[in-house]
């Protein structure tokens, strides 16, 4: 197999590309403006990154010469589609641009991949559900309440109709065991150190999943040549408040962890409250074990 990671400069895409390269696969990743650092090297020894703007470019014009043809007739090429405008309020406040990127241009890319004989792996979201009663299975009826969820669902439906051999991965909250500004554990760590309160949405329930597990899951789904929708999420689920309290406890620190109604946060768009997913179908298909939050906390603290 060989891989193209669309959006390898992002949080999840970068980890997927790193994992595939470490697993000795021929893989490249795209970035749209600034090449990520540190640079990653492909099997040829050259940079594993190529410049590609989903809004403007044709993928085939950006791929290294012969990348697909050199794979041989028996080698399958996968495109992992991580690129998206994924911040919920940003999608709502910039509907025209987010729709163009997340729906129109993504569908154009899917058409192009179909023509090139490349199998898509599309990252969707738990936001395709209304968040009234989880956990959700692949058979649960989607009913998004936010613009981001509506856009993801539109692409899902296009894929199921036009490219049914694809893989659709629905994720919930993805976290890292490394310190990284803007990520959940890092934000909580900074709040604890600054002796600030951690405020959580009242009743918010989620399936926090290590980003390293997401990367491993992608590889397993492709190695088994699976197709269809898979919920890839930790078997553990927590309220946001309980997860924050467990993290503070692991730090052996003290902090005020409090809940507030969703209205307190003045979000521009609506939020699904219960977004935790049932990953039973995925686990049965792959046998993968998810990293526990206790393990994630320990790794974060000891790095």
- Residues 126-172 have pLDDT tens digits of 999 999 999 999 999 999 999 999 999 999 999 999 999 999 999 99
Could you report the per-residue pLDDT of 156-166, keeping only the tens digit for each? 999 999 999 99
% of the chain surpassing 70 pLDDT: 98
pLDDT at 21 over 90: yes
pLDDT at 73 over 60: no
Give 2-176+208-235+276-291's CATH code, choosing from 3.40.1280.10, 2.70.160.11, 3.40.50.720, 2.40.110.20. Answer: 3.40.50.720
% of the chain surpassing 90 pLDDT: 91
The DSSP result for the chain, as a single string, is -EEEEETTTSHHHHHHHHHHHHTT-EEEEEESSS--SS--B-TTSSBSEEE--TTT--HHHHSPTTTTGGG-TT--EEEEE------HHHHHHTHHHHHIIIIIIHHHHHHHHHHHTPEEEEEEEGGGS-SSS--B-TTSPP---SHHHHHHHHHHHHHHHH-TTSEEEEE--EE-SS--TTSHHHHHHHHHHTT--EEEETT-EE--EEHHHHHHHHHHHHHTT--EEEE---S--EEHHHHHHHHHHHTT----EEEE-GGGGT-SS---SB--B--HHHHHHH---PPPHHHHHHHHHT-
Mean of the per-residue pLDDT values of the chain:
95
């Amino acid at each position: 197999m060989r891989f193209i990671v669309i959006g390898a400069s992002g949080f999840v895409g970068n980890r997927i590309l790193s994992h595939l390269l470490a697993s000795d696969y021929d893989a490249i990743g795209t970035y749209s403006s600034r090449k990520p650092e540190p640079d990653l090297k492909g099997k040829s020894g050259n940079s594993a990154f190529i410049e590609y703007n989903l809004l403007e470019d044709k993928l085939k014009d950006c791929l290294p010469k012969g990348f697909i043809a050199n794979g041989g007739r028996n080698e399958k090429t996968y495109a992992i589609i991580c690129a998206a405008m994924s911040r919920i309020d940003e999608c709502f406040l910039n509907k025209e641009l987010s729709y163009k990127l997340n729906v129109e241009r993504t569908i154009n890319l899917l058409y192009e991949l179909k023509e090139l004989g490349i199998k898509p792996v599309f990252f969707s979201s738990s936001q395709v559900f209304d968040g009234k009663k989880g956990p959700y299975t692949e058979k649960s009826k989607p009913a998004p309440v936010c613009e981001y969820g509506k856009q993801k669902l539109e692409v899902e439906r296009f894929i199921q109709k036009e490219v049914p051999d694809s893989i659709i991965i629905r994720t919930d909250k993805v976290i890292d065991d490394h310190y990284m500004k803007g990520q959940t554990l890092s934000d909580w760590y900074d709040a604890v150190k600054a002796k600030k309160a951690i405020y959580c949405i009242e009743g918010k329930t989620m399936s926090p999943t290590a980003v390293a597990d997401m990367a491993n899951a992608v590889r397993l789904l492709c190695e088994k040549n699976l197709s269809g929708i898979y919920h890839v999420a930790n078997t553990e689920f927590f309220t946001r408040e309980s997860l924050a309290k467990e993290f503070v406890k692991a730090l052996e620190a003290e902090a005020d962890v409090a809940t507030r109604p969703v209205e307190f946060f003045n979000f521009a768009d609506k939020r699904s409250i219960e977004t935790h997913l049932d990953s039973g179908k995925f686990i049965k298909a792959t046998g993968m074990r998810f990293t526990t939050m206790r393990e994630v906390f320990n790794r974060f603290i000891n790095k």
